[in-house]
Chain A
Amino acid sequence: MEKIRLLLLSLAVWGAIAGLPRPASAEDAPRGATIEERLDALDQRQRILERNWELDKESAESKGKSAVVAGAGNDGFILKSAAGGFQLKVGGFVQADGRFFLDDEQKPATNQFLIRRAFLNFEGTVNRIFVFRIQTDFGGGKTTLQDAYLDARFAPAIQLLVGKTKTPFLLERLQSATDRRFVELAFPNALSPNRDIGAFLHGDLFNDTVRYAAGVFNGLPDGDTSDGDAADDKDGAARLFVHPFRNTGIEPLEGLGLGIAATYGNQEGKVDAAKKSVTSSLPSYKTSGQNTFFSYRSGVDSGDFSADNNVIADGNRTRISPQAYYYWGPFGLLGEYVRSRQEVRRNADVAALTNSAWQAAGYYVLTGEKNSFKHINPARPFDLSKGQFGALELAARYSELRVDGDAFPRYADPAKSAGRAKAWAGGINWYLTQKVKVAANYEVTRFKGGASGNRDRETEKAVLSRFEVAF
């Protein structure tokens, strides 16, 4: 200790000689002071320097602890308290699409550029465990509330989400719109509920090996989204997804995920001829080009509100979907099947119709980046000055949708609605950066039925392009 003091004293002497700043201290030792008094004065000056430095450091640390942290980056724009218990994140994305059709003699849709999605979201954390999210979509010139929920994250295994969000059901539907590999969703999504309002428990178990979700929702027709419910009955939904080889160290298998999901509920439409009102509570199905190729019989467009000419939901609705993905290195696979059973009624006739769909998709990142269910992170983000061009991915997909044969002709018009649609698609995704993507797809959809005279609906050949930027 004495050695250290002598060392510090020497430093102080050197400091004084070198003209270092002097502390605002007591007067130096007076003239005529003894050597010991002078050394004491130097010692005091050294101690004062050290203490003031210590206080400055404490003050800086204290300010750092209480300061609000502001940031901007790949996660959006963030404000958060120093301890991280409170946070507000503003983000969003825009998808500007081009949608063109080849050989479309019947012109079911127009070639066009459009704003497919323009999302703005506010996501925050209150008191560390309460997460909220409000997300609106301005795409297509409309304003739609996409998400509005509170998620109480008590522990990774126990989280309670209340509000509007995606129903925990289908794999591709649950993938973020900016992470999907194709411009439009495959057919299974037509049979899946979209965003619904409800409450569900969810969580990750065993270090993210098992994910579960189970809860109660308003209940939606296939492919639908809503902000309320016209019926008292509610749907139950549950999903279990496991990564059996995660955390095992077997790298080629760690990216394998297997799951199953189901919904169960009751849906009843309503025909009120007197009030000229029909609520069918039944879906219609669209192609990637957003052309409707199947719908149940409805007289509404022709002003017919009779029970005989309007098909409505009338009872039990169940859906089940086995699903899987696999990612290893630049390679990825995604597959899922969904079966949707709904009891329907046309006047006095009732039937339980089962529609099904499946898809198999494969992806390969030509530039070697790791593929995953989430976004691709380019190893060499676009920067011409560095000769970097981002990441390039090829994708291919086959998907199919079958309508129950019993739907025809009583519940659906075979001259207008196809009973089966098969689509194959090829695509290329160019990830300029993690947040900027350009995509181009070519998708061919062939139908069985759907045209007059027992003929098939015209094959749809769609070129779909997208420029996407997120923040």
Chain B
Amino acid sequence: MIRSRIAARLSVLLLGLGVLLAGPAHAEVTLLNVSYDPTRELYQDFNVAFAKHWQEKTGVKVVVKQSHGGSGKQARAVIDGLAADVVTLALAYDIDEISGKARLIPKNWQSRFPHNSAPYTSTIVFLVRKGNPKGIKDWNDLVRPGVSVITPNPKTSGGARWNYLAAWGYALKKNGNDEGKAKEFVARLFRNVPVLDSGARGSTTTFVQRGIGDVFISWENEAFLAVNELGKDRFEIVVPSVSILAEPPVTVVDKVAKKRGTEAVSKAYLEYLYTPEGQEIAARHYYRPRLASVAARYEKQFPKVNLFTIDDVFGGWQKAQKKHFADGGVYDQIYLAGK
């Protein structure tokens, strides 16, 4: 006779076995960092350093998985359910979108880490072929007939939006803040773009590996990577007279981290970006470090550029996004007119 106690024990045994099979316990934490296109190499190195640091500090093994793509596409993936513990995207607007649409992050996310949650900066430069055969020196050379320009699609790539706004800022400055002339300038520039990749890494492939175009409007770190890793005999970096200060931000995706029980390690992961070790890794991968001591060591690596900020010229990302990159915005008008 099976009495209730035996039955209850059997039930517990069965369910317990199920639970054990479903989720064997490990002294290991897994994080997912959803990032933008050109940060692959940076975070490959950084993740190794952080894992070592975290294991030494806590005894817990941490494995950080990476996901890369156009910043806008990545933000949409997180909104659609990609379970990122942290996001390290190309621009603040994309994180605002995650906060506003999916409510996974509080609105004040940018105030939670130093420097508006941007642990490193970059800017936009030009990569040209060795010898600079088209004689490209500044933004106005990019609108000349016969110059083929490579840049990704601003609708999907954070880097492309920085490129676009850098060109717009230059045109405003050159034309006495005349918006009409800035629009015409950027429209002419995009008429010289034969291929629109969805992300910066794709554009690097287009320019470097497929041999398309005369000039690649590029993240500074991506341009350095192409020159140093793929051949100083093939490419040169041209620094324009003026460019934009790009501040790629980072944040913990609170609701996901809380659900997965990774809040503390996610926060520590991003904080580690600000440490001398983290800053050193960023600088090695051609991102401009925030920490003065590290910046001083890498001073010669980064050319001095006359930089403006998005707040200075466009009033912040929200305004810039709405005016230029929202559906029906200036970029759409330019793109449709050029088709």
Assess whether B17 is in contact with A233, with CB atoms less than 8 Å apart: no
Kindly identify which residue among B18, B21, B147 contacts A26, using a CB–CB cutoff of 8 Å.
Answer: B147
Assess whether B18 is in contact with A160, with CB atoms less than 8 Å apart: yes
User: Top 9 closest A-B pairs, CB basis?
Assistant: A234-B7, A26-B148, A25-B194, A160-B18, A232-B4, A48-B194, A154-B21, A27-B145, A27-B146
Given the known interface contacts A233-B3, A236-B2, the answer about A44 and B18 at a Cβ–Cβ threshold of 8 Å is: no
Q: Which of B204-231 contact A (CB under 8 A)?
A: 206, 210-214
Q: How far is the CA of A236 from the CA of B7 in the complex (A)?
A: 8
The stretch among B8-16, B41-49, B240-248, B308-316 that forms the contact with chain A is B8-16
Residues of A within 8 A of B14 (CB): 160, 199-201, 215-216
Number of B interface residues in the complex (CB < 8 A): 36
Total A-B residue contacts, Cβ distance less than 8 Å: 94
Given the known interface contacts A26-B147, A26-B148, A199-B15, the answer about A55 and B202 at a Cβ–Cβ threshold of 8 Å is: yes
Residues of B within 8 A of A201 (CB): 14, 17
Residues of B within 8 A of A50 (CB): 210
Kindly identify which residue among A24, A158, A232, A233 contacts B338, using a CB–CB cutoff of 8 Å.
Answer: A24
Residues of A within 8 A of B2 (CB): 216, 233-236, 264-266
Distance (Å) between the CB of B213 and the closest chain A CB?
A: 8
Assess whether A44 is in contact with B1, with CB atoms less than 8 Å apart: no
Residue of B at shortest CB range from A29?
Answer: B146
Q: A402 at interface (Cβ–Cβ under 8 A)?
A: no
Kindly identify which residue among A26, A158, A200, A315 contacts B146, using a CB–CB cutoff of 8 Å.
Answer: A26
Residues of A within 8 A of B3 (CB): 233, 266
Q: How far is the CA of A217 from the CA of B149 in the complex (A)?
A: 71
Given the known interface contacts A44-B212, A201-B17, A234-B2, the answer about A23 and B194 at a Cβ–Cβ threshold of 8 Å is: yes
Residues of B within 8 A of A152 (CB): 18, 21-22
Q: B-contacting residues of A (Cβ < 8 Å)?
A: 23-27, 29-30, 44, 47-48, 50-52, 55, 59, 152, 154, 158, 160, 162, 199-201, 215-216, 232-236, 264-266, 315-316
Q: How far is the CA of A23 from the CA of B213 in the complex (A)?
A: 13
**Mind listing 5 A-B residue pairs with CB under 8 Å?**
A24-B339, A26-B147, A55-B198, A201-B17, A236-B7
Given contacts A26-B149, A233-B3, 5 further A-B contacts (CB under 8 A): A24-B339, A29-B146, A51-B212, A59-B198, A234-B2
Residue of B at shortest CB range from A317?
Answer: B1
Residues of B within 8 A of A154 (CB): 18, 21-22
Q: B192 at interface (Cβ–Cβ under 8 A)?
A: yes
Interface string of B1-39 (1 = CB under 8 A from A): 111100110110011011001100000000000000000
Assess whether B1 is in contact with A266, with CB atoms less than 8 Å apart: yes
Residue of A at shortest CB range from B338?
Answer: A24
Q: A-contacting residues of B (Cβ < 8 Å)?
A: 1-4, 7-8, 10-11, 14-15, 17-18, 21-22, 145-149, 191-198, 202, 206, 210-214, 338-339
Distance (Å) between the CB of B5 and the closest chain A CB?
A: 9
Kindly identify which residue among B17, B197, B212 contacts A47, using a CB–CB cutoff of 8 Å.
Answer: B212
Q: How far is the CA of A315 from the CA of B2 in the complex (A)?
A: 11
Assess whether B206 is in contact with A51, with CB atoms less than 8 Å apart: yes
Q: How far is the CA of A297 from the CA of B146 in the complex (A)?
A: 102
Residue of A at shortest CB range from B192?
Answer: A26
Residues of A within 8 A of B338 (CB): 24
Residues of B within 8 A of A51 (CB): 195, 206, 210, 212
Residue of A at shortest CB range from B214?
Answer: A26
The DSSP consensus for interface residues of chain B is loop
Assess whether B210 is in contact with A216, with CB atoms less than 8 Å apart: no
Report which residue of A23, A51, A55 has the largest number of chain B beta carbons within 10 angstroms of its beta carbon: A51
Residues of A within 8 A of B145 (CB): 26-27, 30
Q: How far is the CA of A145 from the CA of B52 in the complex (A)?
A: 54
Residue of A at shortest CB range from B339?
Answer: A24
Residues of B within 8 A of A315 (CB): 1
Q: How far is the CA of A25 from the CA of B149 in the complex (A)?
A: 9
Residue of B at shortest CB range from A52?
Answer: B195
Assess whether B11 is in contact with A199, with CB atoms less than 8 Å apart: yes
Q: How far is the CA of A24 from the CA of B196 in the complex (A)?
A: 10
Distance (Å) between the CB of B215 and the closest chain A CB?
A: 10
Residue of A at shortest CB range from B4?
Answer: A232
Distance (Å) between the CB of A307 and the closest chain B CB?
A: 22
Residue of B at shortest CB range from A263?
Answer: B2
Q: How far is the CA of A25 from the CA of B211 in the complex (A)?
A: 14
Assess whether A316 is in contact with B1, with CB atoms less than 8 Å apart: yes
Residues of A within 8 A of B15 (CB): 160, 162, 199
Kindly identify which residue among A25, A216, A316 contacts B7, using a CB–CB cutoff of 8 Å.
Answer: A216
Assess whether B148 is in contact with A55, with CB atoms less than 8 Å apart: no
Distance (Å) between the CB of A214 and the closest chain B CB?
A: 9
Assess whether B11 is in contact with A48, with CB atoms less than 8 Å apart: no
Q: How far is the CA of A162 from the CA of B206 in the complex (A)?
A: 54
Residues of A within 8 A of B339 (CB): 24
Distance (Å) between the CB of B70 and the closest chain A CB?
A: 11
Distance (Å) between the CB of A157 and the closest chain B CB?
A: 11
Report which residue of B3, B8, B149, B194 has the largest number of chain A beta carbons within 10 angstroms of its beta carbon: B194
Q: How far is the CA of A466 from the CA of B147 in the complex (A)?
A: 77
Residues of A within 8 A of B11 (CB): 199, 216, 234
Residues of A within 8 A of B197 (CB): 55
Given the known interface contacts A216-B11, A216-B14, the answer about A55 and B195 at a Cβ–Cβ threshold of 8 Å is: yes
Residues of A within 8 A of B193 (CB): 24
Report which residue of B2, B17, B339 has the largest number of chain A beta carbons within 10 angstroms of its beta carbon: B2
Residues of A within 8 A of B1 (CB): 233, 265-266, 315-316
Residues of A within 8 A of B8 (CB): 234
Residue of A at shortest CB range from B153?
Answer: A55
Q: How far is the CA of A131 from the CA of B210 in the complex (A)?
A: 47
Residues of B within 8 A of A236 (CB): 2, 7, 10
Residue of A at shortest CB range from B191?
Answer: A24
Distance (Å) between the CB of B129 and the closest chain A CB?
A: 12
Assess whether A44 is in contact with B22, with CB atoms less than 8 Å apart: no
Residues of A within 8 A of B147 (CB): 26
Q: How far is the CA of A233 from the CA of B202 in the complex (A)?
A: 66
Assess whether A233 is in contact with B4, with CB atoms less than 8 Å apart: yes
Residues of A within 8 A of B213 (CB): 26, 44
Residues of A within 8 A of B146 (CB): 26-27, 29-30
Distance (Å) between the CB of B134 and the closest chain A CB?
A: 10
Distance (Å) between the CB of A457 and the closest chain B CB?
A: 35
Distance (Å) between the CB of B188 and the closest chain A CB?
A: 12
Assess whether A47 is in contact with B148, with CB atoms less than 8 Å apart: no
Residues of B within 8 A of A158 (CB): 21
Given the known interface contacts A27-B145, A234-B2, A316-B1, the answer about A47 and B18 at a Cβ–Cβ threshold of 8 Å is: no
Residues of B within 8 A of A264 (CB): 2
Residue of A at shortest CB range from B205?
Answer: A51
Distance (Å) between the CB of B34 and the closest chain A CB?
A: 15
